[in-house]
Amino acid sequence: MSSNSIVWEFFDVSAVDESKAKCRLCNSLISRGGKGTATYNTSNLMKHLDKTHSEQWAATKSVRSSKSSQPSQTAAGQLRIAAAFEAQTPWSR
């Protein structure tokens, strides 16, 4: 199933509402997508990591993808992460 998703290295399921997951990095509560277990997914969680913790997320993904060998996906991901990183570093301007 999808329980092996690497997003769970960054999130814990909320103790009070299992339809939400809490980010370990910033403690944000992120919806898991639906009201029932069958509708849960990790796309909101991945979006949060992409936008808010792009460096840590990219590092985690690159470690995993080198093991599962998905070169095209990795290249596209790195381009997007580079753009996100640039937008998030006002101190470098």
Binding site for Zn ion (CB under 5 A): 23, 25-26, 28, 52
| Other C-beta atoms lying within 10 Å of the C-beta of residue 53 | 19
| 27 φψ region: left (φ > 0), alpha (ψ -120 to 50), beta (else) | left
| In the complex, least distance from residue 20 CB atom to Zn ion, rounded to whole angstroms | 13
Residue with the closest Cβ to Zn ion? Answer: 23
| In the complex, least distance from residue 22 CB atom to Zn ion, rounded to whole angstroms | 9
The residue among 7 and 23 lying less far from Zn ion, judged by its C-beta, is 23
| In the complex, least distance from residue 90 CB atom to Zn ion, rounded to whole angstroms | 19
The residue among 56 and 65 lying less far from Zn ion, judged by its C-beta, is 56
Q: Which residues contact 57 (CB under 8 A, 6 or more apart)?
A: 10, 46, 49, 50, 81
Residue recorded with tokens 């470690």: 63
